């Protein structure tokens, strides 16, 4: 069974630009969650999508948005990039809601904002 895939793996952008990250969950998984990971801050929850509906949203500004398609693939978008957005962005998929089910993480997208 293929794991969670994320594209691209690395991105370099400049301040003010926007970026779209993609996540393909494990086949059959309906939930996709996104996390931002920075040194010393651990994993910070961005949002969770379940069956194309945003189930939960973390405490991030409106510049961070996401969506999920009918095939469960998910994208997240960050507009007007800031230096502080540099981080590893991880997505995780699970069969059911992330709160009660095992999450399988992808390798992440390393975003660098210059």
Question: Can you tell me whether residue 5 is helix, strand or coil?
Answer: strand
Whether 37 contacts 45, CB under 8 Å: no
Q: Which stretch binds another protein (CB under 8 A): 8-16, 21-29, 43-51, 64-72?
A: 43-51
* Omega before residue 8 within 30° of 0, cis: yes
Is 66 one of the binding residues for another protein (CB under 8 A)? Answer: no
Work out the angle at residue 76's Cα, subtended by the Cα atoms of residues 70 and 77, and round it to the nearest 5 degrees. Answer: 130
Is 108 one of the binding residues for another protein (CB under 8 A)? Answer: yes
Query: 17 or 58, CB closer to another protein?
Result: 58
What is d(CA 48, CA 95) in angstroms, rounded to the nearest whole number?
13
Is 35 one of the binding residues for another protein (CB under 8 A)? Answer: yes
Least separation, in Å, of the C-beta of 15 and another protein? Answer: 27
Two tokens, residue 21: 């990250």
- Positions 67 through 96 that interact with another protein (CB under 8 A): 90, 92
Binding site for another protein (CB under 8 A): 4, 33, 35, 40-45, 48, 55-58, 90, 92, 97-108
């Amino acid at each position: 069974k293929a794991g969670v895939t994320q594209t691209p793996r690395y991105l370099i952008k400049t301040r003010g630009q926007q970026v779209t990250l993609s996540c393909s969950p494990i086949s059959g998984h309906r939930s996709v969650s996104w996390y931002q990971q920075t040194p010393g801050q651990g994993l910070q929850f961005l949002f969770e999508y379940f069956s194309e509906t945003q189930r939960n949203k973390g405490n991030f500004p409106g510049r961070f948005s996401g969506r999920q398609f009918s095939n469960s693939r998910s994208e997240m978008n960050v507009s007007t990039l800031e230096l502080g957005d540099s981080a590893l962005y991880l997505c995780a998929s699970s069969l059911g809601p992330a709160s009660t089910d095992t999450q399988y993480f992808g390798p992440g997208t390393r975003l660098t904002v210059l």
